[in-house]
């Protein structure tokens, strides 16, 4: 915030700075100062205090910071809100206790709904919940994460698990929701009901295109275009697109970026180079490894096979590299491969895959910030899409033609 002090008379001098070495968050410091003013008698019992806007101007902070400071006093009765008239100092017994440590307030429960499956290439994704949690701690947000796992072996099971998680949100009075949405249209009625009740819902990684909502992710279309343009810059013209057969915005937008890059280079996307294997492990579908073996063999058998592959995530890219080697292709000598995520940065093995890096930690922080903003202003219905930039990471899996 960078603001040094307040100007209102009798407040004294409070240092309101944004440095991280302060032992108390800014809103907590303001809350304590407000309590001192009540305890000193500057504001007597029953007196109306200045408006939030006036307090924000006097303390030199934004309105949200003042709202958080005042919330603590409202919670323990030191202040009381009276409809549209204003905010007043509590009764004499409440005012006498205002200079004491406030009563503990029950933490707000935040539901975190996502696929918690583990494989070595998912380490980066696991850093997102960790970043959310540490952001809550840094902001002294008094929030507690309640996690729900939506990992399932079939699309039906995934939808079922997401529906169960949303049932719990509706039944247990959860204050906010962060979700990697995998339930498609099936769970949208539940999500709409939750949002209509005023519970903030923040979508991450992907979002339902039919729903006005808050979203934090990356600019998938521009990133898909950049990945394809990099392959084009190396001289590749037959570029395959490899993605699971899922109808989600993440894949759709990266695919749009792929097609846009080809079109801008005067190349018509070839249907035979669009490879969309099933992504589930149900009894009627072969395993992911076998799917990628089939995909690699199918692409290699084309009359004019691709010289490069853009895989929509690193998991598919690594499986494709392994499958290509099994049929006698060398990466990158015979075929170049680019992925998306940059999971290799977390691996102790030598880093090999060229990819688009997602800023997972920043994504988690921005999600927590947006949720806290919504909790402070639950009536806000102007939704926001926060699109973070990716970064091209060049390694050994691509080469010039």
Out of 59, 77, 105, a domain closes at 105
Out of 105, 136, 170, a domain closes at 105
**In terms of pTM, does the model score above 0.75?**
no
CATH number, domain of 71, equals: 1.10.10.10
Question: What CA–CA distances, in Å, run from 328 to 296, 303, 306, 309, 334?
Answer: 11, 17, 15, 16, 9
* Number of domains composing the chain: 3
- Residue 400 included in any domain: no
Out of 62, 89, 105, a domain closes at 105
Say if residue 6 is in the same domain as residue 50: yes
CATH number, domain of 127, equals: 3.40.50.2300
Say if residue 237 is in the same domain as residue 300: yes
pLDDT by residue for the chain (401 residues), tens only, comes to 333 333 343 344 444 433 333 345 677 888 888 888 888 888 888 888 998 888 988 998 887 778 778 877 887 778 887 755 778 888 755 444 444 544 456 678 899 998 877 554 456 667 888 899 889 888 878 888 889 988 877 778 888 999 999 998 888 778 899 999 988 889 999 999 999 888 999 999 999 988 999 999 999 999 999 999 999 999 999 999 999 888 889 999 999 999 999 999 999 999 999 999 876 543 334 577 888 999 999 999 999 999 999 999 998 999 999 999 999 999 999 999 999 999 988 888 889 999 999 999 999 999 999 999 998 887 777 899 999 999 999 999 999 98
Say if residue 237 is in the same domain as residue 345: yes
Q: Residue 52 is part of which domain span?
A: 1-105
- Residue 399 included in any domain: no
């Amino acid at each position: 915030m960078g603001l040094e002090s307040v100007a209102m008379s009798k407040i004294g001098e409070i240092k309101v700075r944004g440095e991280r070495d302060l032992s108390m968050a800014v809103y907590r410091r303001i809350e304590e100062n407000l309590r001192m003013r009540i305890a000193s008698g500057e504001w007597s019992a029953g007196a109306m205090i200045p408006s939030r806007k006036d307090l924000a101007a006097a303390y030199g902070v934004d309105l949200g910071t003042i709202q958080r400071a005042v919330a603590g006093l409202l919670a323990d009765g030191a202040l009381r809100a009276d409809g549209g008239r204003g905010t007043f100092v509590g009764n004499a017994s409440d005012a006498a206790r205002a200079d004491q440590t406030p009563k503990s307030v029950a933490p707000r429960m935040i539901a975190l709904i996502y696929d918690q499956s583990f494989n070595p290439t998912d380490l980066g994704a696991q850093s997102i919940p960790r970043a959310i949690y540490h952001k809550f701690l840094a902001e002294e947000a008094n929030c507690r994460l309640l996690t729900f796992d939506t990992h399932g072996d079939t699309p039906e099971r995934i939808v079922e698990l997401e529906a169960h998680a949303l049932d719990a949100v509706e039944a247990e009075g959860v204050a906010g929701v962060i979700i990697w949405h995998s339930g498609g249209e099936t769970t949208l009625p539940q999500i709409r009901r939750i949002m209509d009740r005023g519970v903030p819902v923040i979508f991450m990684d992907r979002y339902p295109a039919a729903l006005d909502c808050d979203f934090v992710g990356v600019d998938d279309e521009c990133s898909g275009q950049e990945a394809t343009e990099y392959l084009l810059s190396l001289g590749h013209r037959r570029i395959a697109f490899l993605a699971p057969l899922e109808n989600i915005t993440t894949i759709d937008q990266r695919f749009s970026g792929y097609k846009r890059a080809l079109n801008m280079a005067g190349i018509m996307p070839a249907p035979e180079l669009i490879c969309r294997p099933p992504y589930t492990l149900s009894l009627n579908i072969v395993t992911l490894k076998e799917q990628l073996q089939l995909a690699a063999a199918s692409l290699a058998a084309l009359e004019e096979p691709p010289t490069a592959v853009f895989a929509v995530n690193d998991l598919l890219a690594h499986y494709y590299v392994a499958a290509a080697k099994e049929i006698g292709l060398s990466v990158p000598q015979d075929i170049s491969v680019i992925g998306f995520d940059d999971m290799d940065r977390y691996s102790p093995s030598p880093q090999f895959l060229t990819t688009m890096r997602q800023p997972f930690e920043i994504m988690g922080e921005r999600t927590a910030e947006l949720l806290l903003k919504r909790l402070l202003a639950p009536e806000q219905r102007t939704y926001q899409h926060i699109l973070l930039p990716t970064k091209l990471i060049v390694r050994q899996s691509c080469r010039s033609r």
